[in-house]
Amino acid sequence: MTTVFRNGLLIALIVIVFDQLTKLWAASSLGYASPVPIFPSFNLTLLHNPGAAFSFLGDADGWQRWFFLALALGVSTWLALWLRKLGEGERWMGLSLALLIGGALGNAIDRVYLGYVIDFIDLYCCGYHWPAFNVADSAISVGAVWLFVLMWNQDKDVRKQEAEK
């Protein structure tokens, strides 16, 4: 087991634990759909999301719970296999995969036990509210952007090497 793989699993576990602890706090401390202003453009607002990002399929008949759970488990397994293959020099790639795994599994835990995902971070500007999100969603977003940047740079390096030949 490589250090990148071991560290990646540890980071994913940290994301899951932090995500679950913050959701537990939000569910026990906040009233449902009652914004608590923290500072301008930032509220804490407890919401339940039975769908995916931006409440996609949130009004479906319940099948989406199992679909998104299967998707999260399948993608997390694939990412873990990818993480396992990384070499010692690919720590940043390992970090991005770990964030994706931790975020996907954090939300999957909610789907298993609750049937919905707990969201509570509410950002807004000029009367427009970004869809509420949580720590797992943040980890997925950061991991996805970082993965895109790494792959973009990797592709750019390959194209540069091919052009030099």
Which residues are marked as active site? 119, 137
Closest CA to 98 of 8, 7, 5: 8
CA 149 – CA 92 distance, rounded (Å): 11
Provide the residue type at 55 as one letter.
S
For helices 3-29 and 135-164, the axis angle rounded to 10 degrees is 150
Q: Which residues of 155-164 are buried (b: 16+ CB within 10 A; e: fewer)?
A: eeeeeeeeee
